[in-house]
Amino acid sequence: MSKNILVIGADLTSNGGIASVIKSHYKAYQSKEFPFKLFLLKTNHYKDKSLIFEVLILFKAFFQCLYFILFKKVKIVHIHSSAKVSFFRKSIFLLLSKITGRKIILHLHSSDFYGFFLTKNRRLKRYINFIFNRADRIVVLCTDWENKLREAYNLKHVVRIANPINLESTSIQEHKVTNNDNDFTLAFVGFLIESKGIKDLLMAMKQLKDKGYSSIKLAIAGKGELETYINKFITEHQLSQNVDYIGWVSGEDKDNLYKKSDTFILPSYKEGMPISILEAMNFGLPIISTNISGIPDVITVPRNGFLVTPGNVDEIVNAIIDCYKDKELRETISQNNLEDIKRFSAHQIFNQITEVYSDLLK
């Protein structure tokens, strides 16, 4: 039997988390020789298209999957899935792989992990359980997800593997800690949606301005449904000197934003294991985020930054002030993060993936 592996996931031209993870894995795979071949297959198109177009893409992917299984002699099918529509769509490929006798890895990514996979809906939970028990391994991002799945579905084949980051893709700098006499810049990078806590962050900036912390600035980089809200809030509360909405950034522009910032902030309500936090750590930035999902697996207080309760604006304000005032602490955190990020390198994480592959290829 061959040792070929088919990875099924997102459109790699997208900026989403699943696409970022698969691209990091694939780059690590291409960097050296492995005793298997890796093939990639997308099941949807990331840009908004008509329903007919999406159905056609799905049908095409189905037959491509069958082709890889039968003619490329794939032994393992590694399926990356989110929740809701993504999970139902990927279930088709999981069942096809099971029928054809392939080993299956179901790799879960979802900011709505708790709402979907721990649902109270009995029919949905039965279906999720049915799919889970047809996978040979279920990969989750963090300790809490692993514990919750084991408890909710009595699973014994759950494996915890963190999200990766390509350390060599960015120029790691010794972070320059700003003197308190100069502007202190917070960076937010992500989609501008309710669950990212952007409204709480804007309210925190207003409170900081009202308290007289005029040297604390916020740079918002992203795109999404709250763009109009952000601009309106900045205007209504006269925050144009405090908050800079710069739109979506990528590549060198994103790297430059991290280099110019003093702290990274992500006050989310829902997350998996945010790639943006790993990126910011790679530039030695202290992190302010929320104590949810996989974030506490990455951020230990006070070693790597500050964790607050989702929705608690006062805690966000206090964390920002504490970080701003303590230059020595920021210097220590910066060095800690430059060291700790190494355990999330794409090569180390892909080695963990290959251990799962090797186990299933026996």
Note down pLDDT in tens along the chain; length 362 residues. Answer: 468 999 999 888 877 889 999 999 999 999 999 999 999 999 987 666 677 888 899 999 999 999 999 999 899 999 999 999 999 999 999 999 999 999 999 999 999 999 999 999 999 999 999 999 999 999 999 999 999 999 999 999 999 999 999 986 554 555 556 555 578 999 999 999 999 999 999 999 999 999 999 999 999 999 999 999 999 999 999 999 999 999 999 999 999 999 999 999 999 999 999 999 999 999 999 999 999 999 999 999 999 999 999 999 999 999 999 999 999 999 999 999 999 999 999 999 999 999 999 999 98
Evaluated on CA atoms 171, 174, 177, 178, the torsion sign reads negative
**How far, in Å, CA of 322 to CA of 72, rounded?**
56
The residues facing 79 across adjacent strands are: 8, 106
Radius of gyration (C-alpha) of the chain in whole angstroms: 21
**How far, in Å, CA of 328 to CA of 249, rounded?**
30
Between the alpha carbon of residue 154 and those of residues 77, 123, 157, 192, the distances in Å are 23, 17, 10, 36
Characterize 339-360 residue by residue with b for buried, 16 or more Cβ atoms within 10 angstroms of its Cβ, and e for exposed.
ebbeebbbbebbeebbebbeeb
**How far, in Å, CA of 255 to CA of 194, rounded?**
25
pTM of this structure: 0.93
Task: Write down the pLDDT at residue 10.
Answer: 85
Give every strand in the sheet of 158-160, ordered side by side: 38-42, 4-9, 74-81, 103-108, 137-140, 158-160
Cβ atoms of residues 36 and 16 within 8 Å: no
Provide the CB-side half-sphere exposure for 85 (13 A, CA): 7
Cβ atoms of residues 182 and 327 within 8 Å: no
Map tokens 């990356």 to a residue. Answer: 80
Structural domain spans, the chain: 4-164+345-361, 168-343
Architecture of domain 4-164+345-361: 3-Layer(aba) Sandwich (3.40)
Map tokens 């144009």 to a residue. Answer: 240
Which of 157, 164, 163, 74 lies closest to 359 in space, CA to CA? 157
Task: Write down the pLDDT at residue 332.
Answer: 97
Angle at the Cα of 331 from the Cα atoms of 326 and 332, rounded to 5 degrees: 100
Which of 283, 287, 289, 297 lies closest to 323 in space, CA to CA? 287
CATH of 168-343, one of 3.40.50.2000, 3.40.50.300, 3.60.110.10, 3.40.1440.10: 3.40.50.2000
Task: Indicate the SS3 state at residue 36.
Answer: coil
Token pair belonging to 278: 């790993």
**How far, in Å, CA of 13 to CA of 9, rounded?**
12
Map tokens 């790993």 to a residue. Answer: 278
> In this structure, what is the dihedral angle of CA atoms 146, 112, 24, 93, given to the nearest 10 degrees?
90
What distance, in Å, lies between the first and last C-alpha atoms of the chain?
A: 11
> In this structure, what is the dihedral angle of CA atoms 19, 347, 258, 10, given to the nearest 10 degrees?
0
| Phi, psi for 340 (deg, rounded to 5) | -70, -25
DSSP alpha helix (H) spans, the chain = 17-30, 51-71, 85-99, 113-117, 122-132, 143-153, 198-210, 227-236, 251-260, 275-282, 295-298, 313-325, 327-340, 346-361
The residues facing 306 across adjacent strands are: 288
Which of 248, 263, 257, 254 lies closest to 308 in space, CA to CA? 263
Task: Write down the pLDDT at residue 181.
Answer: 57
